[in-house]
Amino acid sequence: MFDKLIGYLVARAGKKYSATYRAVATGLGATLFMTGWPALIWVVGRGGKGDVFPSSAAVLLSALLFMAGIPWVGWAVLWQLWKGRGTPVPWVPTQEFLPSGPYRYCRNPMMFGFFIYLAGWAALFNREGSWVAVLVLMILVILGIKRIEEKELEQRFGDAYREYKKKTPFIIPKFRFPKK
């Protein structure tokens, strides 16, 4: 079902893009992810039941979630731009396989941080509907990664990606400490 889309993305990965093109694509993608999805969560949350937490707890929780999520997103995006010579936007993908930097801890550090970031918005909006919207969005994104992105990466990077996939957790980082 997704074969044509995966083929399209694989073909796009073989092209070189100018720094300006990559910057515009990254800016558009960042706008959607950092403002568009939170706006949707706010709209959906307005239709939900009342407050989930006391107001001061909601603000504190949201601040903590933003502080935990945003660095992961930023690190992953910068790593894709710098080391991967591409962008996090699927139609302008990285040119290099990235098993280093934040990607040594999990295969999807940007999504890990993004989900925490979205939870920060749900906490700030403090409505049951916002939490439901975050959960539904997370499920849809995970399905997209599993059905499209991982298959595209397997086609592009072959055995190197399959081996990486076996050793590296999907979305929850695993920190490896040096053995003494």
Going along the chain from its start, the domains and CATH numbers come out as 3-12+19-167 (1.20.120)
pLDDT of 177 over the 80 cut? no
Q: How confident is the model at residue 178 (pLDDT cuts 50, 70, 90)?
A: low
The closest alpha carbon to 108, from 70, 53, 165, 178, belongs to: 165
Phi, psi of 100 (to 5 degrees): -120, -175
Percent of the chain with pLDDT over 90: 66
With beta carbons less than 8 A apart as the criterion, state whether 170 and 109 touch. Answer: no
pLDDT of 17 over the 90 cut? no
pTM beyond 0.85, yes or no = yes
Rounded average pLDDT over 37-56:
88
pLDDT at 180: 64
Mean pLDDT, the chain, integer: 92
pLDDT at 64: 98
Q: How confident is the model at residue 22 (pLDDT cuts 50, 70, 90)?
A: confident
Q: How confident is the model at residue 45 (pLDDT cuts 50, 70, 90)?
A: confident
Rounded average pLDDT over 11-33:
88
pLDDT of 1 over the 90 cut? no
pLDDT of 14 over the 90 cut? no
Q: Name the packing angle between helices 128-144 and 37-46 (round to 10°).
A: 140
Dig out the tokens for 111 from the structure: 């999504």
pLDDT at 145: 96
d(CA 176, CA 165): 16
Rounded average pLDDT over 7-19:
87
